[in-house]
Amino acid sequence: MPETPQYTVEYRNVKHPRLEYKTGTLLVILPKKGWTPQQVLKKYEQWIKQKQATINAAVEQTNGTALVKNRTDKELRSMVHRYAEVAQSDLHTKINKIFIRKMTTKWASHSQNNNLTVNRLLKFLPEDLISYIIYHETAHAIERKHNQKFWSIITKKFPDYQTKEKNLLTYWFTIQKTINSGEVATR
């Protein structure tokens, strides 16, 4: 590998190694026995290059990306509930509870108990991306994994989902940059 990216390693009770780029830093997740970080980095060298190029492009875009006015928690909650109603109706699913919390690595999550947890940082996103995130997470009630079945569900409502995913990555880095500069408070 020409240049080894910065990475952190976690050993877990898993059968197979995997890589994650959740916040722009490479995380190497390894089974407790059988693999070294170097073996995994070499095996997935091409994937790492592609992912890093995507992240670099998103970071470059941050200079031209403006955040939406900081919505109040009440405004965000109202918006999330409105889009959750639409998603549940479209997908014929039921969300049990909705939580809005500070999350450090993702926009939202959908639990097996049909609870939706939404990152408080959504208040900085354009409304179309909030709608997309809520629909995306609600679709996980039908298909848990990001596989072909899942993306076919998403494509029916959001044929431009790949553009939305790229925009979300750019906004992620824009928000982090803005928070780190002290220009905006997250509370």
With a pLDDT cut of 70, the percent of the chain lying above it is: 90
Could you give the CA distance from residue 102 to residue 132 in angstroms, rounded to a whole number? Answer: 19
Q: What is the CATH number of domain 73-181?
A: 3.30.2010.10
In the chain, ranges of CATH 3.30.2010.10 domains:
73-181
> Can you tell me whether residue 167 is helix, strand or coil?
helix
Look up the pTM and report it. 0.78
pLDDT in tens, 78-108: 999 999 999 999 999 999 999 999 998 899 9
pLDDT band at 54 (very low <50, low <70, confident <90, very high): confident
pLDDT for 1: 41
How many CB atoms are located within 10 Å of the residue 150 CB? 16
> Can you tell me whether residue 158 is helix, strand or coil?
coil
Helix axes 127-139, 161-181, angle to 10 degrees: 120
H or E element, residue 7: strand 7-12
Q: Specify the pairing of strand 26-31 against strand 18-21.
A: antiparallel
CA 124 to chain centre: 15
